[in-house]
Amino acid sequence: MNDRPSVRDDLLAQIPSLRAFAVSLCGQMDKADDLVQEALVKAWSNLGSFTEGTNMRAWLFTILRNVYYSEHRKRRREVQDADGMFSARLVVHPSQNGHMDLQDFRTALSGLPPDQREALILVGASGFSYEEAAAICEVAVGTIKSRVNRARSALTRSLAVQAGSEFGPEPTLQAAMVTTSSGSSS
Q: Which chain residues interact with another protein by CB under 8 A?
A: 2, 4, 8, 11-12, 15-17, 19-20, 23-24, 29, 33, 36-37, 40-41, 44, 90, 92, 100, 102, 105-106, 109, 120-121, 124-126, 149, 152-153, 155-157, 159-160, 163
CB of 154 to another protein, least distance (A): 10
d(CA 149, CA 153): 6
CB closer to another protein out of 12 and 140: 12
CB closer to another protein out of 125 and 173: 125
CB of 55 to another protein, least distance (A): 18
CB of 186 to another protein, least distance (A): 25
CB of 130 to another protein, least distance (A): 15
DSSP state of 97: S
Contacts 24+ apart (CB under 8 A), 33-40: 35/64, 35/67, 35/68, 35/71, 36/64, 38/67, 39/63, 39/64, 39/67, 40/11, 40/15
CB closer to another protein out of 16 and 169: 16
H/E run at residue 68? helix 56-74
d(CA 83, CA 64): 18
CB closer to another protein out of 88 and 100: 100
CB of 153 to another protein, least distance (A): 5
d(CA 95, CA 109): 16
CB of 23 to another protein, least distance (A): 6
Q: How far apart are the first and last CA of the chain?
A: 57
d(CA 92, CA 101): 11
CB closer to another protein out of 20 and 139: 20
CB closer to another protein out of 44 and 179: 44
| Spatial contact of 93 and 104, defined as CB atoms under 8 Å apart | no
